[in-house]
Amino acid sequence: MNSKTRIDFFKKLFKKSWLTQGLNAVPLYLTTAAASGYRMKKYLGFNYSPYLFYYKNNYAEGSYDAADFAKLWRIMKRRMYDSFSYLIKIRRQYNRIFSAYEPWFEIIRSSDIKNLSDQQLLSWFIKAGHSLMESIDLSHVIEIVSIGLETDLKKYLEKQYSTAEVNKKMQGLANFYKPSFINREEVELKRLGRFKGKLLEQRLEQHVSKYYWFRTNYTGSKTVDAKYLLYRLRQLSKQKKILKPTVNNFLSRRDKQLNKCVKLIVEVADWQDQRKVNIFKAIYHTQIIINEISRRLSMPVVNLQYLAAFELLKLKDLSELKKLRPILVERRQGCFDWISYKKEILVSGHEFKLLEKFYHSVRARIDSVVLTIEGMVANSGRVMGVVKICRFLKDIAAIKQGDIMVASMTRPEYLSAMKKAAAIVTDEGGVTCHAAIISRELAIPCIIGTKIATKALKNGDYVEVNANHGVVTVLKHN
């Protein structure tokens, strides 16, 4: 495929209907994990169409083909309502596949990786690539099911209740959720505050052993050690207590359809939380291997993280990475990545520059100044404040107490900023997404699924977030 053909190919892709999520990520972790979408066919008889990714300086936008969601939801809905246990069986199969990596992860953490030969290190690297793929694998159905179930539930409730009552009842789902891994870790860490001396040291070591992956995201991982935990303990002692929302639930003994829908949504929310942990574990151990490869080849880790999914899986020798050095540096400045069944096409450099403006004009154009933005209520409340857009990890530090945090979607690494925010507004997500769950645990207003908040709002805009009705109103433009 020559340059002109590639550019025309991507321009045609941009014009399709996509469901897009923005996050901090690099190709090695995000694209490789997402690439497992085609493997669903082996187990379920269907799979996603190709994915499209935009990367620039560790920021990414990952897109699913919107037509897939409608088509695959019809299949999943029929199967789930025919057999309530269908989704649970898929989850058990997913658990069996990924749990096979746990003993190997322990070996990585306990071994002196410097003693491995180049060939052994390469085999570990490729196996790590497979662990990234299988950290998602069958759980790709989560996106289909969570969006489909929530849409169906809301339509069902709207036939019987007012908009305000529907919003309250949708929030009532939170009464059924298990605590998120973020909440569980924080509660367990707080309990360690009552210990002193050597006993505290022992407890901190146990906590590190359990949550070694906690500071991981789609750009890599940072060390979790006693020093970090002691710092967080001091911070937690200053923060307000995390609350559990007290919205009345709406389960009914008479309404079997409603009950089944709610139970399935709760199952998906719990699975989604478990999947995040598995993804972080896979990334954490891949990062250990990448760090050693970086040392041996004298190549920066940040460049190696721009290795493409199938480039990794097809490696025959570590020396091949040296030949890719210039292209990896180029990709960090920006690239588009299209991936399908065992196929991957990337463009960077001059081709990326030619395509980037066209991509943004097609995918993210807003023709007029937007004064009101609508979305789904994740947690009720009404506040006013100054907008702070979170696109990159560095933006987290800019969030001050009382700001309105606006993001494409939130991630665990955004937690420190979320605790300061007066409200959270996102482009993407449903009632089981990270922002929704954490906003309920923190008891702050949250509106999700606006589609345009990060594009329509600017840093410094003064807005009212009315999360009782799902509306953000711009009171004063910056």
| Per-residue pLDDT tens digits for 150-206 | 888 888 888 888 877 777 777 666 666 678 888 889 889 999 999 999 999 999 999
Q: What is the rounded CA–CA span in Å between residue 219 and residue 25?
A: 5
Quick one: pLDDT at residue 367?
38
Q: Would the pLDDT of 243 be above 80?
A: no
Name 476's bridge partners: 462
User: Is the CB of residue 244 less than 8 Å from the CB of residue 177?
Assistant: no
Q: What is the rounded CA–CA span in Å between residue 125 and residue 118?
A: 10
Minimum mean pLDDT range among 111-120, 161-170, 378-387: 161-170
User: Is the CB of residue 170 less than 8 Å from the CB of residue 261?
Assistant: no
Q: Would the pLDDT of 245 be above 50?
A: no
The CATH fold assigned to 372-476 is: Glucose Oxidase; domain 1 (3.50.30)
Quick one: what percent of the chain has pLDDT higher than 70? 93
Average pLDDT over residues 356-367: 74
Q: Where are the beta strands (DSSP E) in 222-320?
A: none
Q: Would the pLDDT of 366 be above 70?
A: no
Minimum mean pLDDT range among 169-173, 226-230, 435-439: 169-173
| Run of H or E including 222 | none
- Give backbone dihedrals phi and psi of 372, rounded to 5 degrees, phi first: -130, 140
pLDDT digits (tens, 9 = 90+) for 24-65: 899 999 999 988 887 788 888 888 878 899 999 888 988 888
Other residues' Cβ atoms within 10 Å of the Cβ of residue 159:
7
pTM of the complete model:
0.85
Mean confidence (pLDDT) of the chain:
88
User: Residue 369: left if φ>0, alpha if ψ -120 to 50, beta else—which one?
Assistant: beta
Q: Would the pLDDT of 240 be above 80?
A: no
Q: Tell me the C-alpha to C-alpha distance, in Å, between residue 127 and each of 80, 183, 286.
A: 33, 31, 9
- Torsion of the alpha carbons at 360, 363, 367 and 373, rounded to the nearest 10: -120
Helix and strand totals (H; E) in the chain: 21, 15
Average pLDDT over residues 436-465: 87
| Run of H or E including 304 | helix 301-304
User: Is the CB of residue 113 less than 8 Å from the CB of residue 13?
Assistant: no
Q: Tell me the C-alpha to C-alpha distance, in Å, between residue 337 and each of 42, 65, 355, 358, 410.
A: 24, 14, 12, 15, 22
**Residue 251 in tokens:** 């389960």
Average pLDDT over residues 439-464: 88
Domain locations along the chain: 3-140+272-363, 372-476
3 state DSSP class of 397: helix
